[in-house]
A and B are shown apart, each in its own frame.
Chain A
């Protein structure tokens, strides 16, 4: 039985060592593991000299402007995190989930005039799933304006009937 006890202590010691080592590593890495910068982080300290980085935030309501020149789609919009916002220009096709009030991540760099030039735009999905009828009901009753931001708390809608009057 001493062998078993010794192995238990060995495993425990390894677990504590490994656990704290990885916790410390993750904490040290947390700055570098940031997938995107928000507009207010950007205002604090912007990457220098046209370096490419990712910008993330909500697409500001009423800021999306799309046009097609010679079959090449172009888009302009503002990305905001509530505190700050920045204008983004992008030439290309926007993903299906991209819309005003939805989260988006853009890869690109800052131009000298302070605008963000994106070479790639990705749409972020908020973690809410609802049928169209429910979304329409929420919009109709004035509980939610999709272009203004994420849906209201889930408890207010996740049991709504999917068929009118049903």
Chain B
């Protein structure tokens, strides 16, 4: 029972301690230290800004001239849609890092982004549906925007399943990264579907060119909620990745212990 090796380091794939560029974060210890310092701030900002933006949008903003109070769903729906797309972009970047640089942390992060992105996409689809029934007159319509976002949702789900589908985790991670990169094709389709085709879904009110087609009293709470969602998304993903790193470390320790006990 006198097992001491719990103090022994886990058997990691030897990461270079120095490294350059992103590979500095390949050192799990460094990642845990850094993310541990950032996480409370990110989570705090996320909760605070989301609460502020949603509270402001749900209770403070004047009703819309034609939608009435139904306009308030916007404050839940639009930031969720932004994070559905933004989250996928991060997933694609992380997958690229995994495929080209074989970054060990990227594989762990990719597996953790999937479920979070899927949840935000589901929120976007659900709130959109609730808004669509009274406003458009239908829960769902197969127009280019709604269909492409549904495909995004399935891409997320496919990634979640694929990454965990193999006995050898590396094979799952590789397959998941390839799926994530192929799915990037869908992002510009979602973004520009409302401009390229006749859709029932309205085009973006906030564009890089031109004034926002939204009164400023309605715009500020939306931007606040967007920032809050982004911080929240980041905080959840960082927390999940930390948990994954720790879990791996624990598995390593347990392995050492059983080996030693033998």
Chain B nearest CB, measured from A74 CB (Å): 16
Query: Given A11-B99, A129-B205, does the pair A56, B198 have CB atoms closer than 8 Å?
Result: yes
A129 and B222 CA atoms in complex are apart in Å by 12
Query: Given A22-B185, A130-B65, A134-B65, does the pair A125, B74 have CB atoms closer than 8 Å?
Result: no
A45 and B197 CA atoms in complex are apart in Å by 19
Which of B66, B67, B134 lies at the interface centre, i.e. has the most chain A CB atoms within 10 A of its CB?
B66
A94 touches B199 (CB 8 A): no
B208-242 interface (Cβ within 8 A of A): 210-219
- Residues of A within 8 Å of B217, CB to CB, are 131, 162
Chain A nearest CB, measured from B249 CB (Å): 27
Decide if B250 is an interface residue (CB 8 Å cutoff). Answer: no
- Residues of A within 8 Å of B39, CB to CB, are none
Residue-by-residue, is A6-36 near B (CB-CB < 8 Å gives 1, otherwise 0)? 0110010011001100100010001001111
A162 and B100 CA atoms in complex are apart in Å by 53
A129 touches B74 (CB 8 A): yes
A95 touches B185 (CB 8 A): no
Decide if B181 is an interface residue (CB 8 Å cutoff). Answer: yes
Decide if A53 is an interface residue (CB 8 Å cutoff). Answer: no
Decide if A46 is an interface residue (CB 8 Å cutoff). Answer: no
Q: How many A-B residue pairs have CB under 8 A?
A: 137
Point out the residue from B100, B136, B181, B204 that lies within 8 Å of A125, measured CB to CB. B136
A35 and B194 CA atoms in complex are apart in Å by 11
Chain A nearest CB, measured from B16 CB (Å): 14
A33 and B138 CA atoms in complex are apart in Å by 20
Query: Does more than half of chain B's interface fall in helix, strand or loop, or is it mixed?
Result: loop
Chain A nearest CB, measured from B189 CB (Å): 7
* Chain A interface residue count, Cβ-Cβ cutoff 8 angstroms: 52
Look across to chain B and name the residue whose beta carbon is closest to the beta carbon of A133: B62
A30 touches B196 (CB 8 A): yes
Point out the residue from A22, A30, A97 that lies within 8 Å of B66, measured CB to CB. A97
Point out the residue from B99, B198, B218 that lies within 8 Å of A35, measured CB to CB. B198
- Residues of A within 8 Å of B66, CB to CB, are 97, 99, 102, 135, 146
Query: Given A4-B100, A135-B65, A158-B213, does the pair A129, B137 have CB atoms closer than 8 Å?
Result: no
Decide if A132 is an interface residue (CB 8 Å cutoff). Answer: yes
Decide if B157 is an interface residue (CB 8 Å cutoff). Answer: no
Decide if B63 is an interface residue (CB 8 Å cutoff). Answer: yes
Decide if B71 is an interface residue (CB 8 Å cutoff). Answer: yes
B198 touches A125 (CB 8 A): no
A123 touches B135 (CB 8 A): yes
Residue-by-residue, is B121-149 near A (CB-CB < 8 Å gives 1, otherwise 0)? 00000000000001111100101100000
10 contacts between A and B (CB under 8 A): A7-B99, A11-B100, A122-B200, A127-B213, A131-B62, A131-B217, A133-B62, A136-B65, A151-B213, A158-B216
> Which are the 9 A-B pairs with shortest beta-carbon distances?
A95-B137, A135-B65, A131-B62, A155-B211, A154-B213, A127-B205, A129-B214, A154-B211, A127-B202
Name A's B-contacting residues (CB within 8 A). 4, 7-8, 11, 14-15, 18-19, 22, 26, 30, 33-36, 38, 56, 94-99, 102, 105, 120-136, 146, 151, 153-155, 157-160, 162
